[in-house]
Amino acid sequence: MFSANHKQLAILIDPHKASNQMANLLSLLKRQPPHYILVGGSMVTDTTTSVIETIKEQVSVPVLLFPGSAAQFSPAADALMYLSLISGRNPDYLIGQHVQSSLQVYKHNMPVIPVGYMLVESGSLTSVQYISNTQPVPRTKNDIAVATALAGQYLGQKAIYLEGGSGAQLPVPLSMITAVKAHLSIPLIVGGGIKTPDAMADAFRAGADVVVIGNVLEENPALYTQLFERLALL
């Protein structure tokens, strides 16, 4: 699904925070669709399926579940990002949540994309760090990031996600993106704290195959048009 051959933009919608702004954002996404829409977040909500259905009524792109836990499974999505939190040492996010959701995946014949998910220190404590009870990779330790990403690839992950955390103060360091990308043969996803077209372009130039943007569009949906137009110039 994800490609290491061309630059792709993914928009993250957190159903827990979905507000009136979502309608504005969806009308922009309908006009100029991104490559993917991710749906998920740290909190469980009963609106995940209805948010996915609303998105799918309006925008014809793959909608991928990006769950914070097994409880966020929804059969309405097109595929499930099966995240292993490989930067952490919490077995619940390495196998426990997967065991809880796998029978649902089977029952609904849901396509899964195994993703090695790596939290990277981003200036302050993030929700995902707090909720997952794991330590992020230190932002100056590119060697640890590379070793972790390679381990994920060798374990069979189909993509690596370098994550600063939603609303991160600082995005993933560009030198870390470049170092990790240089060692991988699977696609590299980067997200967390990317708030401007320039920051998106920098992440792509550093080596990201997919850039994920969420939080800033909840505050300012109109920024999407600038992101889309900037992507076309890369």
* Nearest-approach distance from CB 108 to ligand 1GP, in angstroms: 24
Q: How far is the CB of 37 from ligand 1GP (least distance, A)?
A: 12
* Nearer to ligand 1GP (CB atom), residue 9 or residue 110: 9
Binding site for ligand 1GP (CB under 6 A): 12, 163, 166-168, 191-194, 212-216
CA nearest neighbour of 76 among 101, 42, 112, 50:
50
| Smaller CB separation from ligand 1GP, 105 or 213 | 213
| CA distances for 49 relative to 35, 38, 59, 146, angstroms | 20, 13, 15, 36
| 41/73 with CB nearer ligand 1GP | 41
**Minimum CB–partner distance for residue 13 and ligand 1GP (Å):** 10
CB of 161 to ligand 1GP, least distance (A): 8
Residues contacting 116, CB < 8 A, separation 6+ = 84, 86, 148, 149, 151, 152, 153, 155, 157, 159, 160, 161
Cβ proximity to ligand 1GP: between 186 and 203 the closer is: 203
Q: What is the nearest approach in angstroms of ligand 1GP to the Cβ of residue 212?
A: 4
Of 192 and 207, the one with the shorter C-beta distance to ligand 1GP is: 192
